[in-house]
Amino acid sequence: MKGKTLLGRYEIIDIIGQGGMAFVYKAKDNLLNRLVAIKVLKSEFNDNEQFIKKFKRESQAAASLSHNNIVSVYDVGVEENHHFIVMEYIAGDTLKEYIQQKGHLTWKETAYIAKQIALALDHAHKNNVIHRDIKPHNILMAEDLVPKVADFGIARAITTSTITLVEETMGSVHYLSPEQARGGFVDERSDLYSLGIVMYEMMTGRVPFDGDSSISVAIKHIQEEIEFLEEDLDHIPEAMEDIVLKLIQKNPEDRYANARELIQDISAAQSGEKVKNQSQNKKGGILPGILPVAKPKAETQQVKRKKEKPIYKKPIFWGAIVLGVALLVVLGTVLANMNRVKDVEVPGVDGLERGEAIAKIEAAGLTYEIDPPENNATIAEDHVIRQTPQSGTTIKEGQVVHLVLSAGPRELEVPNVIGKFEVEGIQELENANFVIKEINRQFNDEHEKDVIYDQNPRPGLLLKEGTEIILYVSKGKDTVIMENYVGQSLETVRNAIAAAGLQVGEIREEASSEFDRGIVLNQEPKANMEVAKNTVVSLTVSQGILKTKTIQIKLKDYVEYDKDEEVPTVPVKVIFIDQTTGSNVVYDRMHKADETVNVELQGLGVQYYQLEIDGQTYNAEIITF
């Protein structure tokens, strides 16, 4: 494939990878002058008509997705039985390679990456696209360590037509949801299960289940619960453990209902808050109807955080009962006193300036705490992004309201979109969190129609996200329709050409049978042609109307012959010599040597003519018109 050009546009540069279903190539889009990645299906899929149809349909659905954390799909095509997808080219490593390089990631980095993957899934799920093959191999790390999810929709075509649990699927089976392993119904919660496995691997450096075959790994996903080792929990906060354990519940009903819930909990974990959507059951268990697989040996058995014997078996159990009774008495007293504290409705302070928000909270008889600030493109610096508890909640007087203030928008580098088509440039700027303020369209001789030829502010500047950008888009070359200048005076035509934004080029003169001197006889380009501004126009101008004069040639003065013999026939040529246009044969015939030949000549002013009779050329003679 190297060196081949697909659809006359995509030039294959080199192979950059392959999987069970396709080869991936680095290529150049010669139309838009950019690098792309092209995934070409392996030949064994070409004869599966059902798969090819589904592959095209799902790829086109994926192409409709537009998100900063999703690898863009630009095109889908087929050439010479090569079915392929054209995608955004990402120069970085896969998440799998990134994990292998670092051993394992910190929980904070895991939260950062997982949150962006969840944002990608949230966008896709809202557009009714399920990925079905979330794994670190399908997540590309851009140069700024922004994760981008690839291969949306492709797995659906594969799973419905081609996948069997063999060695080729080992990479995917480690992240397979139980319902996928059983061949059951798949929805957005299946993607969330796979993301949970990816998060587990990011924080521990290993997948939770492994085996000699893909079938054995798939069965473990169905039967065995996933747990963390005690050594893992030394660097993983409980909030992150809770998030992962909820994601990897065997029953989809016990997982997060959607990616948005997951994003909320990851944000809470990043802020040090307790997650809101905790799993009601941290134990995975075995699904009914499946024979259990033998448990690992004791020395390798994974264990949960602080797993203890039932408390009723401990010696202190009965002492705790006595202590509990005493605590109930104290608790009753506290509750009684609490009942005397006034209930207060939490005021709404979202969007307010810090001082105004604090004053409003204190006026309601409550206290406040300022949590770590967050960047925000729409809420001004030092204004409230959100509050906890929310507005309208009833709490006791004196309790705390937590405030998260805006640190203002981030400073980001303005992308360079000059030379890109308008649609592509707008998408790139909006994905970078800039706002298109205005689009100016002008004619431009250097850029084709709909291509951006300038932008303001200039590319490369560090500006706050949300900054407004003005784009200048080419309307193509400015064109005019050629007028008919024939029959007009040269002076008039010069002025008309300049007024139309054109240029006067070469001016030739020649005699005319129709137009007086100084009148335009011909033009290039011709009338009614569409030409670009500044096109050079060539003109032919009349030297004056041609006049006619007859010359008389007595052949006996030029040809000698014996009078007693038959009169010979001789060739007669007249060559007209115009001082402007040069020599031209105007008469060439055979005549008897005793004839008198009359030849009409046309010209202007003083010209010359030359006779050639019976092969002999005579001196040029002057003729005045």
CATH of the domain at 368: 3.30.10.20
Last residue of a domain, one of 545, 580, 600: 545
233: its two tokens:
């929990």
CA distance 605 to 405: 95
For residues 533, 534, 540, 543, the Cα torsion angle rounded to the nearest 10 degrees is: 120
Burial class (CB in 10 A: 0-12, 13-18, 19+), 533: middle
399 lies in some domain:
yes
Domain match, 133 and 153 both: yes
Which residues, 6 or more positions from 89, have their beta carbon under 8 angstroms from its beta carbon? 26, 34, 35, 36, 37
Tell me the one-letter amino acid at 160. T
104, 240: one domain: yes
The DSSP annotation for 159-175 comes to HHHT--SSGGGHHHHTT
Which tokens in the block code for residue 302?
């994974």
DSSP secondary structure code for residue 72 in this structure: P
Residues 72 and 206 in one domain: no
Contact 473, 422 (CB under 8 A): yes
Are the C-beta atoms of residues 531 and 478 closer than 8 Å to each other?
Answer: no
Question: What is the total count of domains within the chain?
Answer: 7
Ordered DSSP codes for 93-160? -BHHHHHHHHSS--HHHHHHHHHHHHHHHHHHHHTT---S---GGGEEE-TTS-EEE--TTHHHHHHH
Do the Cβ atoms of 269 and 111 come closer than 8 Å? yes
The last residue of a domain, from among 545, 578, 594: 545
Q: In this structure, is residue 123 part of a structural domain?
A: no
Based on the fold, state whether residues 488 and 393 are members of the same structural domain: no
Indicate whether 284 belongs to any domain: no
What is the distance between the alpha carbons of residues 350 and 363, in angstroms, rounded to a whole number?
Answer: 16
Q: What are phi and psi of 22, to 5 degrees?
A: -155, 160
**Pair 485, 589 in one domain:** no
| Pair of tokens at residue 184 | 């059951």
Q: What is the pLDDT of residue 118?
A: 96
Dihedral, 584, 590, 596, 602 alpha carbons, nearest 10: -20
Shared domain check, 79 and 65: yes
What pLDDT was estimated at residue 299? 38
Same domain for 142 and 188, yes or no, is yes
- Beta strands 582-592 and 621-624: pairing type? unpaired
75, 122, 133, 265: the catalytic one is 133
Burial class (CB in 10 A: 0-12, 13-18, 19+), 250: buried
Structure tokens at 220: 């473990």
Domain for residue 50, yes or no? Answer: yes
- Domain-terminating residue out of 356, 387, 406: 406
Same domain membership, residue 352 and residue 498? no
CA angle centred on 435, ends 432 and 436, rounded to 5°: 115
pLDDT of residue 472: 96
Residues 6+ apart with CB under 8 A from 569: 590, 591, 592, 593
The answer to whether the CB of 578 falls within 8 A of the CB of 620 is no
Please check whether residues 463 and 494 belong to one and the same domain.
no
Decide if 227 is inside a domain.
yes
Q: How far is CA 133 from CA 59, 64, 188, 212, 577, in A?
A: 14, 18, 11, 21, 87
Residue 118 in domain? no
Distance of CA 226 to the CA centre of its chain: 38
- Check residue 64 and give its pLDDT: 80
Domain that holds residue 454: 411-474
298 is a domain residue: no
Strand segments, DSSP code E, in 337-410 are 343-345, 367-374, 384-388, 394-396, 400-406
389 and 266 within one domain: no
In this structure, are 336 and 348 located in the same domain?
no
What pLDDT shows up at residue 388? 92
Task: Tell me if 39 is assigned to a ligand binding site.
Answer: yes
> Low-confidence residues of the chain, pLDDT below 50?
155, 157-170, 281-313, 318, 320, 322-339
Is 191 a residue of the active site? no
pLDDT of residue 290: 37
Contact 488, 540 (CB under 8 A): no
Q: Is 466 left (phi over 0), alpha (psi -120 to 50) or beta?
A: left
Task: Give pTM, 2 decimals.
Answer: 0.47
CA 13 to chain centre: 20
**How far, in Å, CA of 226 to CA of 216, rounded?**
15
Give dist(CA 194, CA 190) in Å, integer: 7
134 and 16 share one domain: no
Cβ(201)–Cβ(136) under 8 Å? Answer: yes
Q: Is residue 120 part of a domain?
A: no
CB 587 within 8 A of CB 572: yes
